[in-house]
Every structure is written in structure tokens, then in C-alpha cells.
């Protein structure tokens, strides 16, 4: 196993922490085989996800956008959580309050068994009505024959937040309140470029949290973080749990 050094400062902060948040992004699921948007192999056909994951694209060509989501659904339906997801399930036991705030729409934290997951960007396995927002669970959509909402006749779309759309305001407020009152904040597998999710990390450190970034590549957040560790989430998080076990055995 790769050696990962845990700094004295991080260990001290983890010892005293009662409240820990982990913000996750697409890199969290990379080791499960879910492509990231900005990674090397993040493309579907020749489209840039930003060109498809927005409301104008959907209104222009709902069939194409649904075809892309059906492809993503099929892919996500076949994959399993990785060791990083499972490590975050184990990590819950070491802190009185532990929350995952995820930008992912792939349901893998829930599938792994994490009990406190806030979905910032919805869930690709759910559908909703374009007009009245009624939620329809898990139904496969035939992209050649997109169904209409039985209540209002609106078009059915994936229940995810598209580029240019507002996040569900109650979810965002909960996330911001958490970020403002946390002891240690991990930012894992996100390029820290999609707002308002990216701001949560700045908000956490600005309010006194110890900020740790886990990402094989540097990001715009790297210099601001207390520590930026360039390693995969699937490698780092299982090692973190071993470390927590050592630390907390004597302090809990």
C-alpha cells in the first residue's frame, strides 16, 4: 500500500473534531468507472457535457439530451461504489456529526451505505416534470417518445441541476450552514470550479475549519487549502479511516 503521511496538524484537528464534512465531486466516483466531466476520458461521443446538461439544450433537442442521460444511467446502473465510498461509511463512526455533501448525481454514496448525504445536484436516477417539478422515480425514458407529466402535461426531464440552474434552495442553505460550522472539511474529487458548490470549501475555512483537498491534480482551491493531497480518493480515504481508528481509539 502506498505510504501516505498524515500531518501533525491534521491529526490534532481530527482528534478534537466533533463535526466533519466531506464535499465530494465526480473524482470520487472515477475509480468506480464513472467518467468525470473534466477528466481525460470524460466525453460522450463528441459532445461537451456543458453543451448537453443545460435547459436550452433540452428545449432544443430533448431527444438528444435524454439519449445522453439514458447512456449515463445505464453506465451508472452497472457500477459499484469504490473503497473510497465505503471508507466514508466507516468514517461516520468516529465523529458525533459527519455529513457528506455531494455534487455527484450517481447515488453511489447512498448505495455504499452512508447515512447522511446531501445531494446538491439531484440524482440521475430520478425524473421530474419540467413545469410543475413533480418527482417521478426511476422510470426509464424512451428518448424517442418522452412522456408527459400526468398532472400538467409538462415534459419529463432528469431530476438533476443543470448548468445555469439554481440549486434547490433548502439543500444549499443546509450545506452552507454546515460549512460555516465545521471543524474539518474535506474536499474530495472536485475540480472546485462549479458554483455554488466550490464556495462551500472557502466558506468552511473562512469560518475556521481545517480544509483538506484530495485530488490527484491541482485545482484553483489547492493553494488556499490547509493541505492539498494529490492522490486518488479511493486510495486516500481508506488510509484516513485506519488513521482515524488509531487517533480515536484513545480519545473517544
Give yes or no for residue 156 binding Zn ion (CB under 5 A): no
- Please, which residue, 93 or 135, has the CB nearer to Zn ion? 135
Footprint on residues 106-125 left by ligand NAD (CB under 6 A): 106, 121
Residue 74 binds ligand NAD, judged by CB under 6 A: no
Q: Which of residues 45-64 bind ligand NAD (CB under 6 A)?
A: none
Contact (CB, 8 A) for 218 and 228 = yes
Is residue 228 near ligand NAD by the rule CB under 6 A?
no
State yes or no: residue 34 binds ligand NAD (CB under 6 A).
Answer: yes
Which of the residues 160 through 199 are near ligand NAD (CB under 6 A)?
Answer: 189-191, 193-194
- Look up 143 and say whether it is catalytic: no
Smallest gap from Cβ 193 to ligand NAD, in A, equals 6
Binding positions for ligand NAD, rule: CB under 6 A = 25-27, 29-31, 34, 36-39, 103-106, 121, 189-191, 193-194, 214-217, 219, 232-234
Which of the residues are catalytic? 121
Amino acid at each position: 500500500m502506498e505510504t501516505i503521511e498524515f500531518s501533525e496538524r491534521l491529526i490534532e484537528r481530527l482528534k478534537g473534531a466533533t463535526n466533519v464534512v466531506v464535499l465530494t465531486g465526480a473524482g470520487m466516483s472515477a475509480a468506480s468507472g464513472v467518467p468525470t466531466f473534466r477528466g481525460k476520458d470524460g466525453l460522450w461521443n463528441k459532445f461537451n457535457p456543458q453543451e448537453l446538461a443545460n435547459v436550452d439544450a433540452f428545449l432544443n433537442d430533448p431527444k438528444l439530451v435524454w439519449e445522453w442521460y439514458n447512456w449515463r444511467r445505464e453506465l451508472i446502473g452497472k457500477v459499484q461504489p469504490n473503497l473510497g465510498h465505503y471508507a466514508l461509511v466507516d468514517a461516520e463512526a468516529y465523529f458525533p456529526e459527519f455529513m457528506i455533501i455531494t455534487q455527484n448525481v450517481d447515488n453511489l454514496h447512498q448505495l455504499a451505505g452512508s447515512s447522511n448525504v446531501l445531494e446538491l445536484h439531484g440524482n440521475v436516477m430520478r425524473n421530474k416534470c419540467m413545469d410543475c417539478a413533480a418527482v417521478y422515480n426511476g422510470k426509464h425514458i424512451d428518448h424517442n417518445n418522452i412522456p408527459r407529466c400526468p398532472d400538467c402535461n409538462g415534459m419529463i426531464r432528469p431530476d438533476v441541476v443543470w448548468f445555469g440552474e439554481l440549486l434547490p434552495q433548502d439543500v444549499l442553505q443546509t450545506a452552507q450552514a454546515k460549512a460555516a460550522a465545521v471543524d474539518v472539511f474535506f474536499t474530495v474529487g472536485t475540480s472546485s470550479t462549479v458554483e455554488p458548490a466550490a464556495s462551500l470549501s472557502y466558506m468552511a475555512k473562512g469560518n475556521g475549519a481545517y480544509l483538506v483537498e484530495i485530488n490527484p491534480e491541482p485545482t484553483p482551491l489547492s493553494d488556499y487549502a490547509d493541505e492539498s493531497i494529490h492522490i486518488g480518493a479511493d486510495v486516500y480515504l481508506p488510509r484516513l479511516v485506519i488513521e482515524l481508528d488509531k487517533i480515536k481509539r484513545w480519545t473517544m
